Amino acid sequence: MSSSSEAELLHTFKGISFTTRSSPELLKSLDTFDAREDDVLLVSYPKSGTHWLAGVLAKLYKTQVTITSPIEFGDISRLEELNKLSSKRIIPTHLDYNMLPPNFKKKKCKMIYISRNPKDIAVSMFHYYRDNPNLPTVDTWTAFFDLFLKGNVVCGSWFDHFLSWEEHEDEKNILFLFYEDMKKDLPKVVKEISLFLNLNVSDNDIQDICRKSSFLEMKNDTEKENSDPSHTVCALTSNRKLIFRKGAVGDWKNYFTPKQNIRFQEIFNEKMKLSKMADSFIYEC
């Protein structure tokens, strides 16, 4: 990461890097945000499949719902915009659990946390950094790999983010999903989501939703739409063409050197040693 103008693309709040598209004033005001009992939060670390999951959710609801842009995206006027929405709100966020507006916790709002193998996230984020003008330039995979492992990337350390949420896995209002399971058996995951949200969805509807929600289908839909900033469910960009890249599972093998893989695995084992879900990420070493 080089020049000072690039440094200005990011700022730090409570020790975590955010793009300037999340204003410090907005981040400070989140504590006062008025959650509603029927809000559904769609939570992820960047590049974990949020847009894909948002597309599935939009199809699951038969009534009027609004998938907003992320709660931390924009300036202070953001909170007022959200308050004015009359329909049920599905609110995406990349915030870790500790930074979440306390009202969501008090009101036991339903929250869906989608996660993905962090090795694939690292590769996906590397491309995102390269293609996204809102993020500093990173010239090489080696340089980015180091930043990712140290947590010196936007939204902070993947490990800290995941663990902050995993601590609450026993709470009935939080559902954990894995990107790889969506790729492997989407109907099963869609059924799980519908039960969690108490939605009455027939098996035929689920099959139909899955047909319209294949990764490729959603990538094509997204690329047909205009880059309307209000369409984004990612706090890092409003350019929808940057959202879906490959969606592959295991793409990290095309980037990680054997040495990097060993280093990653050592850090993973150390940081995740108390994690009950750590095994969910060991798809193929």
Residue 227 inside a domain? The answer is yes
What's the CATH code of the domain at 69? 3.40.50.300
pLDDT single digits (tens) 189-238: 999 999 999 999 999 999 999 998 876 676 666 555 544 445 566 545 55
User: Are 189 and 177 in contact, with CB atoms under 8 Å apart?
Assistant: yes
Residue 147 inside a domain? The answer is no
Residue 74 inside a domain? The answer is yes
> What's the rounded Cα separation, in Å, for the pair 29 and 9?
21
Check the CA dihedral 124-126-127-129 and report its sign.
Answer: positive
Residues labelled as active-site residues: 94
Residue 282 inside a domain? The answer is no
User: Are 42 and 197 in contact, with CB atoms under 8 Å apart?
Assistant: no
User: Are 49 and 116 in contact, with CB atoms under 8 Å apart?
Assistant: yes
Rg of the chain on CA atoms, in Å: 18
Residue 212 inside a domain? The answer is yes
Supply the range of the domain harboring residue 169.
10-117+155-243
Residue 276 inside a domain? The answer is no
Residue 162 inside a domain? The answer is yes
Both structure tokens of 148: 């990712």
Q: 């050592």: which residue's tokens?
A: 266
Q: 């599905």: which residue's tokens?
A: 90
Which residues of the chain have a pLDDT value below 70?
Answer: 1-7, 215-216, 218-247, 282-285
Residue 43 inside a domain? The answer is yes
**pTM (two decimals):** 0.89
State the total domains in the chain: 1
Nearest to 119 by CA among 92, 81, 159: 159
User: Are 78 and 53 in contact, with CB atoms under 8 Å apart?
Assistant: no
